[in-house]
């Protein structure tokens, strides 16, 4: 989502994988998203990722012609994962964007039988019961990474041990503190920080969502460039309004220093 992968050409996506591999610092894992509306393109991206030597691949479900049920979804995942058999494969579950509302628990249960390099699921949804069911099926065998930033504490309290989120790019210390406080049993502190996260996410959504997120990256000194149409980058006036709202929350002094 953050990298706008579905708005890039396959050639651009291959180039990005290659460049990230070149500059990757020691200890950081490189997971490349290879999801595509075309299964053939998705498989080609997976093959390329394996040649480049990344650590894992992930793929979001096709969202125009959607899998009709869990068997169709698993069959699609089998093909993508088999294109890079040496790499761990993560299914990226995000029904709010794909419209594919096949439960993550169902997927894990079926895919465990036919996707030998399955590593787990990135779970970006509000269905906590499905999340808990997926964790039960995953056991020690698979990762189930929590993907809703504004619900991280809920995820942690229901068994999450890892998370992936767009706003972690510029507020990682805040979320690490939520994780630390939750683990230490300091629930009031964890709730306070989670409420702060929800407040600044509300500001980001108010100012355009992803375009505002990229503007925040610029404001902290990491210019990731403009968004691509049909999204629209914020104007200078809009960026100033975004900054004013974030300043009123104390975002820049809190989120990066906790």
Catalytic residue numbers, as ranges: 92, 122
Contact 255, 173 (CB under 8 A): yes
Residue 233 tokens, joined: 């980058």
Residue 167 tokens, joined: 């706003």
Contact 104, 75 (CB under 8 A): no
Residue 51 tokens, joined: 């040649």
Query: Rounded to whole angstroms, how far apart are CA atoms 76 and 81?
Result: 9
**3-class secondary-structure state, position 70:** helix
First to last CA, the chain: 26
Query: Rounded to whole angstroms, how far apart are CA atoms 227 and 4?
Result: 8
Query: Rounded to whole angstroms, how far apart are CA atoms 227 and 224?
Result: 9
């Amino acid at each position: 989502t953050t990298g706008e992968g579905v708005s890039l050409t396959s050639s651009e996506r291959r180039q990005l994988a290659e460049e990230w591999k070149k500059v990757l610092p020691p200890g950081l894992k490189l997971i490349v998203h290879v999801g595509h509306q075309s299964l053939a393109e998705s498989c080609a991206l997976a093959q390329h990722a394996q040649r480049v030597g990344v650590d894992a691949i992930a793929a979001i479900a096709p969202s125009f012609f959607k899998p009709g049920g869990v068997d169709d979804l698993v069959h699609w995942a089998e093909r993508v994962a088999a294109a890079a058999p040496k790499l761990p494969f993560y299914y990226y579950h995000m029904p709010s964007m794909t419209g594919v509302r096949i439960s993550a628990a169902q997927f894990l249960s079926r895919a465990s039988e036919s996707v030998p390099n399955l590593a787990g699921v990135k779970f970006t949804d509000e269905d906590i019961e499905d999340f808990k069911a997926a964790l039960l099926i995953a056991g020690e065998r698979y990762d189930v990474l929590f993907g809703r930033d504004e619900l991280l504490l809920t995820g942690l309290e229901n068994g999450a041990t890892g998370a992936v989120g767009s706003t972690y790019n510029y507020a990682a210390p805040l979320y690490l503190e939520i994780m630390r406080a939750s683990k230490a049993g300091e629930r009031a502190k964890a709730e306070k920080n989670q409420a702060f996260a929800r407040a600044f996410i509300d500001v980001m959504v108010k100012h355009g969502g992803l375009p505002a997120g990229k503007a925040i990256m610029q404001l902290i000194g990491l210019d990731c460039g403009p968004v691509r149409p049909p999204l629209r980058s914020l104007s200078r006036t809009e960026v100033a309004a975004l900054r004013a709202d974030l300043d009123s929350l104390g975002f820049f002094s809190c989120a990066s220093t906790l």
